Structure 1
């Protein structure tokens, strides 16, 4: 049967024969060194010793099988500085949904070899055909890394290796942050949203300041924020208002006032320290957790790789931006003269 199949290829022209030979060998996984018959050799259909095959029969034999694309979730981490797209935020847990051939998902090392070192694919998981990484994300967790001097009246206006955040200031910051928990009208924390717009109401699941840590001699901390969804600039404006109150640049009463109907002019905190920590797909995972064809979208198996990217790619940029470029220092100088009630009239 093998030589009959190869013979059918031989009645085509020279170029067509080579083309279909390659297709045929790929389809049956036979090494390409197998000899092929010449045009002058005669081969016959095994069902008839007299019937010579025509070109139509050849095409039927060597017609390649169609490979169907399937939906996959690509789990990524990257340092977003110097790149555009996805809001320019660094991420340790970004997910995109794409249709791929199954053969494209085999080698993570090969995929990453084509990417710059700031961008890593952590995993590729089979998803349902209806999976949408944006719409099916149940909640998101962001972190905002900043030097602790920015959170205290006694912190000065520049990084100082001798400064350590007083415990009373640490607890004060967490009390201020706790105000944001629950459902609020965040129309003042984004652009061009009216207070009557239903999309301005967002739900914050948790928000708190983590224990400080020291890098390059300077003390830093992270504010962790988990919510169902966030509007453009919302987190940076939330951080700004807490810093202003903690440093005595704004009244604590401005926090509850900012989620009422009146307009408040809240500037943006620097974007340097903002990182997407986790994307949560709780509802999706619960619905399909027993399906043998689909993988849960979780991050536990990638925690070591995520931390390596944080320490090797993201944190050096944040440290340099704060210590060498004085990102927070220069912003605090502008914040000290800012008028939160200076609102432009439409």
Structure 2
């Protein structure tokens, strides 16, 4: 007689005669449906590629993957899953696809060109178009190249170029009233370039970051070039572009080099502060606003020399994508940086904080940038009208002797 009791009805017999609960069978079916796209991805071959991306960092907490906040890589991984370039499990654990970025950018910092290395499925029609359709307009994938199996976008990167778009009134002398009407002379440009040249070469930059001691090997960095270009006018405000190329940079490294350069050229301190900064003791160095900072390009000269002409791999020079890159930079990065500065006067506001720096040796725990309270500073300025006057309607700062 056939057993039709509840206990027998709730089991399933496989080909080998083994029994297991029916609810487990249903669970397996559900799992199969959920992972259908992932299993399809696993069946197709994955290739190691270098993926070129660009982005405006406004509204994002940097590039690096972080499940707690919104980041650039979070957006890109979601787009890759939707395009079926990678399974969800690789997005959850990027190490499974050898994921790496060339350069890490902090909160709000943009990149005209940054490079990711990863293993993905590329046998998809209109791949770039499909990926970009799942991305916000301020994040773009410009292209990709097949690479060697061991390629790592961070470790293979020879050096990086960053730029800083700066309103030229940042270099106005202390005795001047700071407004958009300020125009940078050739002499000031020469002075800025003279100060920037002081950083070229190998130095211990422990005073240009945080939580790194002068004795540590990672404090030593190599700067290849550091220049200020000719000023130009955009919507009535004059700007200049400061370009720095170095082997690698630390947290706040570039912003502090530019911060002390501005302070010296304005007259807040002397050039000797740079000499002091090379010494082991902690020196008070101001940190320029992050608003104007942008990663321009990571460089792969040695990789291109070794593999770019082997007839198998294409060089990572991105010549074909250059027009699209330039268009994106102008529409989503450069114009946004300059418009934000003109509307919000971020640099102008920061200039008022320089009076709180001592530009000298300080206690290791005396971090003036982190202790600075913008609200309290503005309230103090309103009270202390004998030394500092703020015109809130026109955002004009005027230092009196």
- TM-score interval for Structure 1 and Structure 2 normalised by the shorter chain: 0.7 to 0.9
* Aligned counterpart, 2:219: 200
Is the aligned partner of 1:84 residue 2:103? no
Change (3 A) 1:239 1:157: farther
* Aligned counterpart, 2:337: 318
For 1:54-93, list aligned pairs within 5 A.
Answer: 66-86=43-63, 87-88=106-107, 89-93=109-113
Contact 1:149/1:157, CA 8 A, preserved across alignment: no
- Partner Cα separation in structure 1 for residue 289 and residue 295 of structure 2: 15
Q: CA RMSD in A?
A: 1.9
Change (3 A) 1:277 1:248: same
2:230 aligned to 181, 191, 211, which one?
A: 211
Q: 1:154 deviation in Å?
A: 6.4
- The residue matched to 1:336 in structure 2 has which SS? helix
Q: 1:291 deviation in Å?
A: 2.8
* Aligned counterpart, 2:321: 302
- Partner Cα separation in structure 1 for residue 233 and residue 326 of structure 2: 16
* Aligned counterpart, 2:37: none
Paired residues, number: 282
Contact 2:227/2:244, CA 8 A, preserved across alignment: yes
Contact 1:266/1:340, CA 8 A, preserved across alignment: yes
Q: 1:304 deviation in Å?
A: 1.8
* Aligned counterpart, 1:235: 254
- Partner Cα separation in structure 2 for residue 268 and residue 337 of structure 1: 12
Q: 1:284 deviation in Å?
A: 1.0
* Aligned counterpart, 1:266: 285
1:216-269 Cα deviation digits (max 9, x unpaired) = 111000110000111111000000010000000011111122122221021211
1:139 aligned to 159, 163, 167, which one?
A: 159
Q: What stretches of structure 2 of length at least 5 have no aligned partner?
A: 1-40, 64-105, 366-401
1:13-33 Cα deviation digits (max 9, x unpaired) = xxxxxxxxxxxxxxxxxxxxx
Q: What stretches of structure 1 of length at least 5 have no aligned partner?
A: 1-63
1:32-78 Cα deviation digits (max 9, x unpaired) = xxxxxxxxxxxxxxxxxxxxxxxxxxxxxxxx994321101110111
Q: 1:163 deviation in Å?
A: 2.0
Change (3 A) 1:155 1:80: farther
- Partner Cα separation in structure 1 for residue 316 and residue 111 of structure 2: 16
Q: 1:308 deviation in Å?
A: 1.2
Instruction: Give me the TM-score of the superposition, normalised by structure 2.
Output: 0.67
- The residue matched to 1:91 in structure 2 has which SS? strand
Change (3 A) 1:65 1:96: closer
Contact 1:190/1:232, CA 8 A, preserved across alignment: yes
Contact 2:309/2:315, CA 8 A, preserved across alignment: no
- Partner Cα separation in structure 2 for residue 318 and residue 92 of structure 1: 12
Contact 1:147/1:159, CA 8 A, preserved across alignment: no
- The residue matched to 1:324 in structure 2 has which SS? helix
Deviates more, 1:334-343 or 1:133-142: 334-343
Change (3 A) 1:66 1:143: same
For 1:1-346, list aligned pairs within 5 A.
Answer: 66-86=43-63, 87-88=106-107, 89-104=109-124, 106-153=126-173, 156=176, 158-160=178-180, 162-341=181-360, 343-345=362-364
Instruction: Give me the TM-score of the superposition, normalised by structure 1.
Output: 0.77
1:307-337 Cα deviation digits (max 9, x unpaired) = 2112211123212321111100110000123
- Partner Cα separation in structure 1 for residue 149 and residue 187 of structure 2: 51
- Partner Cα separation in structure 2 for residue 65 and residue 250 of structure 1: 61
